[in-house]
Amino acid sequence: MDIVLEAKHIDKYFKKPVKFQVLKDINFQIKTGEFTSIMGKSGCGKSTLLYILSTMDTNYTGELYLQNQLITGKDATHLSYLRNKHIGFVFQFHYLLSEFTVLENVMLPAKKLAEKSVVDIKQTAQNKLKMLNIEHLALKKASQISGGEKQRVAIARALINNPSIIMGDEPTGNLDSHNAENVFSIFKQLSEEQGLSLLIVTHDEDFAKKTDRILLMEDGKML
Amino acid sequence: MINWNIILSIAKTHLVTKLRQTLVATLGVTFGIGSYITLVSFMTGLNAMLDDLILNQTPHIHIYNEIEPSKDQPVSIYDDFASHLNFVRSIKPKISQKKIHNALPIIDYLEKDKDVLGALPQVVTQIFYIAGSIELGGNLTGINPLEESKYFNLEDYIIEGSAETLENTDNGIILGIGIAKKMALNVGDRIQISPISGDFFPLKIVGFYQSGISDLDAIQSFTNISTVQRILGEANNYITDINVKLKDLEKALPMSQLIEQQFGLKAVDIKTANAQFDTGTDIRNLITYAVSITLLIVAGFGIYNILNMLIYEKMNDIAILKATGFSGKDVQLIFMSQAMIIGILGGLLGLLIGFGLASFIGTIPFETEALPTVDTYPIHLQPSYFIIGFSFAMVSTFLAGYLPSRKAKKIDPVTIIRGQ
């Protein structure tokens, strides 16, 4: 199987308030279609790792490959493009633009990518919403829907550009068990039916157990 | 690659959802530009009026025969005394004629010059106005009424009668309004004129003259050149002054110097004669611009404040935009375009309001004895004010938007997302 994401010898230090090594020599690979979770206690550096992998944090040493391309050291505009095209995000807190409608929120990354016409993008966005059973919310304002619905909209948005990998930072952390279950089954379905790679940081042991592979972290090291 | 559609649509959504703040910021710009336009058109209108008051009646070059002592006394010309130190006390001007020698050929010569619009002869003399037992000193100026109207706007200052009636009336006089009031005279009455040499000449009053400068109106009257020449008992080549109007005012100084050299006459150009008016105009312009720029700076701070607050409120949005692939530059452009939209809308509205207000002021009645030609407040609207005003709006909103938007560009999404 192809390798989607590969980390080689990643080290990271926090300089403030005192110099402290958060990540110590992290090495791992994510293959296409793999549903991986990263587990560990609070403060072990798993979120920090995720933000490095997401290309948003560039302040580290080591090498990062996305689809076998070295992305360490690329300029900010190129990294923005890579995030836009290849990486989908789901956060613990929904992070929708509250003044826009659900549909506009989902369409936004695709409009930025601008590979398709607006009509096509709209069609794709509606398909994604339909797939997640929230097509009836399309024209509502993002501020008017429930927490579970927001998270599903965020997933739809993460999927809009057909990314190579979906990354999640505690995507079920803020949801009740019913909605958490719902989100998990969506991820599982995406992984199995569409061969999408997923990398999810979580506290939730039940959630992690159901994934293909668990990466355990402790004190900045991968076990 | 910049995708303007999406940047503008996000900017628009921000502006529309924060309608009240947007309106406050826009009105700030509108107020600044509106007052600039109003102020500048009113001020320049006022300037033009004050300039007209003096400069319109003033010849660009005034040529006359100055009575002054000779610069070179005979003793200093005499070679034998060249090595001596000479003192001549109590020098007096020598007797000379008031009239300009060869005035008519000089006028012909001047009128042929391509820079000259017109060269008008005048005969200026001191006389007494006599009505009954009252005797008042004054000036009587003999003119060509129609040409004076054409080149020096005489008609504007004739409040009753006209230059034409003076031209057509032998022994007519246009009397200064101050004299007429003092002597209780009306158009159609007769007034006795006595030159310094004696004699009496009855003249018929055909009109009144009001310059707006009451000291002048109390002494000055006009009549035809031939009438004055007759009163003084002089021939028709007796001309005391020549007033020249040029096509280009800037050429007045060099030309006056040339005339002094060429004809040995005194020639005063308009700028030398009215230097203080230029200074006044400059200072009024300075005040106008200082006030307008202050207003725009205040408006700019308003925009700066509102955008700054907006960016604090939208931290999460900025983080999510960056996380989903918008670059720092895209985010900066979103906030910059908000500032520019506020600037363009506010600026255009300001131009309209400024135009409306200025036009309104232009219709308010403003009547004063001193200014017979003015009946509403003077307003001077010029396209360049609108261009300057709009550019002001653009520059100030650009600066006000640039600083906050640069901050938005630099926001690190990781810090925001982790901070939740």
Q: Break chain A into its structural domains and give their ranges.
A: 3-222
Bridge partners of residue A88, in order along the sequence: A166
Which residues of chain A make contact with B320, given a CB cutoff of 8 A? 95-97
pLDDT surpassing 90 at residue B373 = no
Where a domain ends, among B209, B238, B269? Answer: B269
Which phi and psi (to 5°) does residue B196 adopt? -60, -30
Quick one: pLDDT band at residue B269, thresholds 50, 70, 90? confident
pLDDT surpassing 60 at residue B88 = yes
Residues B231, B324 within the same domain: no
Residue B302 included in any domain: yes
Instruction: Work out whether strand B201-209 and strand B190-195 pair parallel, antiparallel, or are unpaired.
Output: antiparallel
Q: Which of A56, A113, A114 sits opposite B413 (nearest CB)?
A: A56
Question: How confident is the model over A125-166, as pLDDT tens digits?
Answer: 888 888 878 888 878 888 888 878 888 888 888 888 888 888
Q: What is the DSSP string of B38-75?
A: HHHHHHHHHHHHHHIIIIITS-SEEEE------SS-HH
Residue B87 included in any domain: no
Does B14 contact A at CB distance below 8 Å?
yes
Res B371: pLDDT: 65
For residue A62, give the 3-state DSSP assignment.
strand
Chain A 93-122, residues with CB within 8 Å of chain B CB atoms? 93, 95-100, 108-109, 111-114
Average pLDDT in the B201-214 region?
88
CA torsion, ordered B33, B36, B39, B43, to nearest 10 deg: -140
Does A91 contact B at CB distance below 8 Å?
yes
Res B420: pLDDT: 56
**B414 min Cα distance to partner chain A (Å):** 7
Q: Which of A108, A107, A105 lies closest to A150 in space, CA to CA?
A: A105
Optimal mutation site among A71, A97, A167, interface B, most CBs of chain B within 10 A? A97
Res B414: pLDDT: 78
Quick one: pLDDT band at residue B140, thresholds 50, 70, 90? very high
Which residues of chain A make contact with B329, given a CB cutoff of 8 A? 77
**B326 min Cα distance to partner chain A (Å):** 6
Percentages of chain A per state (helix, strand, coil), in multiples of 5? 40, 30, 35
Residues B112, B229 within the same domain: yes
Quick one: pLDDT band at residue B33, thresholds 50, 70, 90? confident
Which residues of chain B make contact with A113, given a CB cutoff of 8 A? 325
Residues B108, B42 within the same domain: no
Residues B297, B252 within the same domain: no
Contact A111 B3 (CB under 8 A): yes
Contact B6 A99 (CB under 8 A): no
Contact B319 A89 (CB under 8 A): no
Contact A113 B319 (CB under 8 A): no
For residue A4, give the 3-state DSSP assignment.
strand
Contact B417 A91 (CB under 8 A): yes
Does A81 contact B at CB distance below 8 Å?
yes
Q: How many helices (H) and strands (E) does chain A have?
A: 7, 10
Lowest mean pLDDT among A213-217, B371-375, B390-394: B371-375
Tell me how far apart the alpha carbons of residues A67 and A52 are, in angstroms, rounded to a whole number.
16
Res B223: pLDDT: 93
Residues B208, B348 within the same domain: no
Does A85 contact B at CB distance below 8 Å?
yes
Does A65 contact B at CB distance below 8 Å?
no
Which residues of chain B make contact with A66, given a CB cutoff of 8 A? none
Which residues of chain A make contact with B413, given a CB cutoff of 8 A? 56
Which range marks the domain in which residue B361 is found?
A: 4-55+277-419
Which residues of chain A make contact with B328, given a CB cutoff of 8 A? 76, 80
For residue B78, give the 3-state DSSP assignment.
coil
The chain-wide mean pLDDT, for chain B, equals: 84
Optimal mutation site among B21, B320, B330, interface A, most CBs of chain A within 10 A? B320
Q: Which of A54, A89, A114 sits opposite B3 (nearest CB)?
A: A114
Which phi and psi (to 5°) does residue A98 adopt? -70, -20
Cis status, amide bond into B365, omega within 30 of 0: no
Quick one: pLDDT band at residue B369, thresholds 50, 70, 90? low
Residue pairs spanning A and B at CB distance below 8 A:
71
Chain A 29-48, residues with CB within 8 Å of chain B CB atoms? 47
Residues B255, B285 within the same domain: no
Q: What is the DSSP letter of B114?
A: T
Residues B174, B65 within the same domain: yes
For residue B257, give the 3-state DSSP assignment.
helix
Per the structure block, which two tokens stand in for A10? 């990643």
Question: How confident is the model over A158-205, as pLDDT tens digits?
Answer: 888 888 888 888 887 777 888 788 888 888 888 888 888 888 888 878
Which segments of chain A are extended strands (E)? 3-14, 20-31, 35-40, 61-66, 69-70, 87-90, 165-169, 197-202, 213-218, 221-222
Does A171 contact B at CB distance below 8 Å?
no
Chain B 309-348, residues with CB within 8 Å of chain A CB atoms? 316-317, 319-330
Contact B322 A56 (CB under 8 A): yes
For residue B91, with 0-12 CB atoms within 10 Å meaning exposed, 13-18 middle and 19 or more buried, which class applies?
exposed
Quick one: pLDDT band at residue B348, thresholds 50, 70, 90? very high
Residues B123, B107 within the same domain: yes
Quick one: pLDDT band at residue B224, thresholds 50, 70, 90? very high
Average pLDDT in the B142-168 region?
86
Residues B261, B391 within the same domain: no
Where a domain ends, among B243, B269, B295? Answer: B269
Residue B83 included in any domain: no
Contact B420 A51 (CB under 8 A): no
CB A164 within 8 A of CB A66: yes
Contact A109 B325 (CB under 8 A): yes
Q: Which one has a higher pLDDT value, B203 or B312?
A: B203
pLDDT surpassing 90 at residue B355 = yes
Residues B8, B71 within the same domain: no
Which stretch of DSSP H or E encloses residue A144? none
Which residues of chain B make contact with A81, given a CB cutoff of 8 A? 325, 327
Res B360: pLDDT: 92
Q: Which of A32, A73, A21 lies closest to A64 in space, CA to CA?
A: A73
Does A77 contact B at CB distance below 8 Å?
yes
Residue B84 included in any domain: no
CB B50 within 8 A of CB B274: no
Does B415 contact A at CB distance below 8 Å?
no
Domain count, chain B: 2
Q: What is the DSSP letter of B283?
A: H
Residue B204 included in any domain: yes
Quick one: pLDDT band at residue B372, thresholds 50, 70, 90? low
Contact A83 B323 (CB under 8 A): yes
Residues B103, B245 within the same domain: yes
Residue B51 included in any domain: yes
Return the residue of B nearest to A81 by Cα: B325
Residue type, A207: F
Residues B177, B302 within the same domain: no
Where a domain ends, among B269, B286, B308? Answer: B269
Per the structure block, which two tokens stand in for B319? 């983080």
**Which residues lie below 8 Å from residue A148, measured CB to CB, with a gap of 6+?**
A175, A176, A178, A179, A182, A183
The CATH number of the structural domain formed by A3-222 is 3.40.50.300
- C-alpha R_g of chain A: 17
Does B132 contact A at CB distance below 8 Å?
no
Residue type, B18: K
Q: Which of B1, B5, B323 sits opposite A56 (nearest CB)?
A: B323
Question: How confident is the model over A30-86, as pLDDT tens digits?
Answer: 888 888 888 888 778 888 888 888 888 887 888 888 887 888 878 888 888 888 888
